Structure 1
Amino acid sequence: MSKKYKKKADASAPNRSSSRMKIVTSETCKVCPTPCQRGLRYLEKMSEPGAIGFGVPCILTKGK
């Protein structure tokens, strides 16, 4: 008897229905023509001395 195995979905494979947002730095948020709440909070956090940040997802760069 042979067993049938199903292929497991790869967790790293992109889902076609999901969208991705680009990660932007505080410099990009600073010059943004339409600032969002998330960007403003990040910009405030990064304005403190010694703050270390890795960026914030930008809703304006949302893909289709």
Structure 2
Amino acid sequence: MSKGKVTKKKQPVSDRRQVLYKLVLSDTCAVCKTPCARGLRYLAHMQEKGSVGNGVPCILTKTFG
């Protein structure tokens, strides 16, 4: 018997679960009960005059698709 490493087979790409996040706007980040660093940074950016934003992925809305 050989004492080699046991290699774990990788799952095919089609079998892996993909993580999905909802995009939230600055008004949602402003009233969030558990603010994250990314949300606070986005909120501060949107406070500047003339800034345009498309939202930020919220880690609290993580789902698997």
TM-score tier, shorter chain, comes to 0.7 to 0.9
TM-score of the two chains, using structure 2 as the length reference: 0.73
List runs of 5+ in structure 2 lacking aligned partners: 1-13
Q: Percent identity?
A: 57
Opposite residue 41 of structure 2, the aligned amino acid is R
Opposite residue 27 of structure 1, the aligned amino acid is D
Opposite residue 54 of structure 1, the aligned amino acid is N
Higher helix share: 2
List runs of 5+ in structure 1 lacking aligned partners: 1-13
TM-score of the two chains, using structure 1 as the length reference: 0.74
Higher strand share: 2
* Aligned pairs, number: 51
Q: CA RMSD in A?
A: 1.6
Q: 1:51 is matched with which residue? A: 51
